[in-house]
Each structure stands twice: as structure tokens, then as C-alpha cells.
Amino acid sequence: MLTLNTGSVCDVCAEEYGPHRRPHSITCGHVLCAACCDTIIEKTSPRLTPVCPFCREQFTSDSIRLIRLDFTSSGVSTPRRFPNSLEANEVFNEDLVDDRAYSFDSVQGRVATARAEARRLEDKVAKVAHKKCSVEEVHTLHEELTKWLQSEVKTDDQVSAALKSLSIPTRLKIDRKLLSHQTSSLHLSAALLRAILLNHLAHSEATKAARSLESSLRARIDDLEMSKAKLEGELTK
């Protein structure tokens, strides 16, 4: 039976695998804990299929497979006991770990919130791209994207500053990389929406100018017609 190295953690929640948190594989082969698999499924819209947070391949609850491990020989089931002479130092280290865990949870929460908001905006952009929208809808979405991208710059700076004193788990590194890709994609979407709005504005201005010119020419033609009729009337006298 397979064994697990001490310190092996779920790359999504960064919790250590053990008898009460067993690893599971999904369709694409990536490994998560059962709690994270369930969370992804629960938070996915009923209209959509859950996807792997790493490669975005779809999976279902039926495709999740438990990876059976021998925890008795892996060294993860029994906590190590420090000698009495190190009790005080152990308490100090535990407090330090708690502080870092709190900081990590705060950072992870910010990144998760930002990714969720980015995903929501991506969905709105996709809907706009696949249906006929009014100029007002495009303008509103462009403003929403611009506002979020400006706030995301501040959030990213704060996260970067907080992570300088932390050992970053692989899951959080991946989340930040995915968020970076999402942000880049939304920058392009915002630029595209701006181009659409500018094009509409230019088209509107050109249409107004054309109508104004047409009206002016029609008025001039009417004047000429009246002058012609007047001259013809005088000639017949």
C-alpha cells in the first residue's frame, strides 16, 4: 500500500493529509482532499460542471476516487513529543505558527475573494460577447471592470507585502498565478469594451454630422427650387 511523506498537504487548503483528511484524485489526475472537492462542487453553479482548480478540466462527484494510504508507517498519524526541556520553546513556536497561519488565512482569503470576483466579471464579459447589448450595458460593464482593476492593483500590493514574511504554499502560488492570468484577461476585455465604446461614439458623431449635412443640403435644394420657381414665374409674365 502507498505511504505518505510527512508534511504532505492538500494544495488547495494547505491542510496536512492524515487519517481524517485523506487525499482524493479527480478525473484529470490532480489530488485534493475530500473537503475541497465537496466545496468546489457546492460552490459551482447548478448550470455548470465543476472544474479542477489547476487545469480547469471538468469532473463530477462520481469521478472522485479515494487514494488509499498506509498512515501507520507514514509518520503523519502520531504527533511527535518534544522533551520536557523544550516545552517553553515548543509553546513559543506554536504561537509563531498560529500567527503565521492567521496571516496566511487572511492572505488566502483576499486572493480567493479576488479570484471569485474576477470569475464573475469574466462571466459578464462572456455574456456581453454572446448577445446583443445596449451601449448603456457595455458602458456599465466597462466602468465596473475599470473600477475592479484599479482596486486589484492595491490588493495585489497588500498581498505581496504580507507574503514577504510567509512561506507560501504551492496552492496559494497557483491561485495568485491564476488570478494574474484572470487580471490580464480582464485588462484585455476592458480595452476591447473601451474600443467598442469609442467606435460607437465615432459612429454616432459621424452619423450626426452626416444627418446635419444632409439637412443642410436639403434646405439648400429647397431654396434653389423656390428661386427657380420664382424665376420661371417672372419669365412667364
What domains, with CATH codes, occur in the chain? 1-70 (3.30.40.10), 107-233 (1.20.58)
State residue 177's pLDDT score: 67
In the β-sheet with 65-66, what is the strand arrangement from edge to edge?
31-33, 23-25, 65-66
State residue 2's pLDDT score: 54
State residue 209's pLDDT score: 80
State residue 173's pLDDT score: 60
Average pLDDT per run of 10 along the chain, which is 237 residues long? 66 83 87 90 88 87 85 50 41 41 59 80 79 82 85 65 52 63 76 78 78 85 84 78
State residue 160's pLDDT score: 61
pTM of the model: 0.37
State residue 26's pLDDT score: 92
